[in-house]
Amino acid sequence: MDDTHKSSSEIKFWHRGHGQMETEKVYGDWFIRYLYDSSLGKKTGGMFANASFSKFYGLLQSLPTSHGKVRPFIEKFNIDIDQYEPGSKHSVDIRDSYSTFNEFFIRKFKLGQRPFVSDLSRMPAFSEARYVGYESITPEVRFPVKGKYLTAAGILGNGDVAKPFEGGPLIVARLCPVDYHRYHYPDNGKVIDHYPVHGRYDSVNPLALKLKNDIFIANERHVTLLQTENFGRLAYVEVGAICVGKIVQSHRWSKPFLRGEEKGYFLFGGSTVVLLGEKGAWKPSKDVLENTKNNTETYVTLGDEIAVKS
């Protein structure tokens, strides 16, 4: 590959905590470019962007033989593993404590590593991810895909359910394979309803989004409607992606939830969480809005402010 193509395919984002632009290290970058940026990949992509392939690949990450992938992955992507709880396998070195790659993939932060903002007018980040945000979704929205694909009805797969969220704020949190893969509740509240929307398993990598801009309305996803104490009604949507073995809901639907409490997790693969709100109820944080206007994602750590009450 020539340097020009490599440079154009690099993914840049603003790291809030580091206060600088950074380049994303992409796991399986060659595979994503093959699927979405080559003539052969575009013809054969259907063989991979489906539930059967993703679940099969996910199962491989739960085999004991996948343990050998953990240490090289940690070292290649410079993961600060000491921030996390060890796995189930007794070992002097935490890098060798995960019995399978999936056990490592769904690792938990140690207690106290990611405090959630306590000010009730500030919404905490529900995932450790790269974020884009919009104060109000309109047809003029152009990032990361054309606005017509970011409508409430398109994302939720149901026009009636979408009505309270039309013209409201929206946040997209993109998780990479190197990230913490558990997602959390942004406020206290209760679950009103939940349902799956079946679909494809395309990648949510920015390259894929540019070349195939219906991913958020065509991919497999799970919608949960929440009634929260401080931010009104929310639609919380987990989006499946290529090689995501499973979207797991670890919180019981009938049980009220608390700010910062775990909602669920993704088994192997990068994926996305989308959050929609009622018009005028809240808006994404200032830096997220500004960076989004400049076609730039903002990396926000779990629990840090991601939105504010209007």
Residue whose tokens read 């990479």: 176
Supply the pLDDT for residue 5: 40
pLDDT in tens, 238-262: 987 655 557 899 999 999 999 999 9
Ranges assigned E (strand) in 170-270: 170-175, 182-184, 189-197, 221-228, 233-239, 247-249, 262-266
Q: pTM here?
A: 0.84
pLDDT in tens, 196-208: 988 655 555 555 5
Nearest by Cα to 267 from 83, 72, 46, 60:
60
On average, the pLDDT of the chain sits at 84
Query: How many whole angstroms separate alpha carbon 187 and alpha carbon 111?
Result: 19
Give every strand in the sheet of 233-239, ordered side by side: 20-23, 12-15, 297-300, 129-134, 170-175, 271-277, 233-239, 221-228, 189-197
Query: How many whole angstroms separate alpha carbon 174 and alpha carbon 132?
Result: 9
Residue 130 has pLDDT above 50, yes or no: yes
Supply the pLDDT for residue 154: 83
Supply the pLDDT for residue 3: 39
Supply the pLDDT for residue 70: 97
Using the Cα atoms of residue 77, residue 82, residue 87 and residue 93 in order, give the sign of their dihedral: positive
pLDDT in tens, 280-291: 999 999 999 999
Nearest by Cα to 137 from 240, 299, 298, 289:
289
Query: How many whole angstroms separate alpha carbon 163 and alpha carbon 178?
Result: 36
H or E element that contains 154:
helix 152-156
Query: Would you call 74 helix, strand, or coil by DSSP?
Result: helix
Token digits of residue 161: 């359910």
pLDDT in tens, 132-173: 999 998 766 655 544 445 788 888 989 999 999 999 999 999
Query: How many whole angstroms separate alpha carbon 231 and alpha carbon 142?
Result: 26
The stretch 38-63 carries a mean pLDDT of 61
